[in-house]
Amino acid sequence: MTSITDTLTKYGFEPSTAELYVILANNGEMTVPQMMEKFEFSRASIYDSLNQLLTQDFVTYRKEGRVAYYKPVHPNKLFGLIEQKKRDITLLEEEMKDSIKTLVGAYNLSENKPGVRFFEGEEGFKEALYDSLGATETIYAYVDMDALQKYAGDVNREYVKKRQENGINKRLLVLDTPEARQYLKNQGSKATEFRFLPPNMKPFRTGMEIYDNKISYFTLREDNIVAVIVEDRDIYRFHRHIFEALWEMVGGKQKTTIGGGQESTTVFN
């Protein structure tokens, strides 16, 4: 049968701390010399264990003159360890799920199947976005500039700076809004070319990047940011052809580039 000290150890207690707690629970209020009579560890170990128990509020103490008396709180407080363990397990479960998703993507690539990687939150978005900093060709992207600046503006600004430093060109199709025009005008990137999608298109909260046989999807929401990278040659070609067709279609009216903070528009015939 599992002992109480073994159980407490499984819930995060150091072995010596678990043993001292059990001694206190069985004997009530005690001084350090009294503990030393029942505890096989050194005085230093006793004080280390007492400090841990005091920090977690499993023990209280009082002093009479120069003598300190230590007393355990009610054992019901140990129920809190169960709740903490549940939270830890839930967190570990989510981390394992994310790891499995990433490993499945890598495994599928090794089996010549489409590789898929999932990312969540701002840090996940950053990791997925920064993947394109290794692009060996022009990046093609659809962007809801308003949502990007609202939910991930700082990450994007740092990304743009690094992309420019790496000399990676980018073509953007963006929804035509006053905010998007102002942002692109102020950006001043010689490595960025963009064209506006008609303002009567339905607003979207999703971005996409197309590069190096990969497709990156970004869903930008206040409650959650999710990114997915799909690596597959045929899926990449399909989306690139769609992008190029739409690029030429809206480019029949205008082509807008940025350089040195100045906006210029050329009309196509």
Chain position carrying tokens 């000399």: 167
pTM of the model: 0.54
What is the phi-psi region of residue 78: left when phi exceeds 0, alpha when psi lies from -120 to 50, beta otherwise? alpha
Fold exhibited by the domain 4-73: Arc Repressor Mutant, subunit A (1.10.10)
**Separation CA 59–CA 205 (nearest Å):** 52
Sign of CA dihedral 139, 143, 146, 149: negative
Fold exhibited by the domain 114-266: Endonuclease; Chain A (3.30.870)
Nearest to 28 by CA among 67, 75, 80, 65: 75
**Residuewise pLDDT in 10s, the chain (269 residues):** 468 888 888 888 888 888 888 888 888 888 888 888 887 778 888 888 899 898 888 899 898 888 999 998 888 888 888 888 888 888 888 888 777 766 776 666 566 556 778 888 888 888 889 999 999 999 999 887 777 777 777 888 888 889 988 899 999 888 887 877 877 777 655 678 888 888 776 666 678 999 999 999 888 776 778 888 988 888 999 999 999 999 998 875 444 444 444 343 332 22
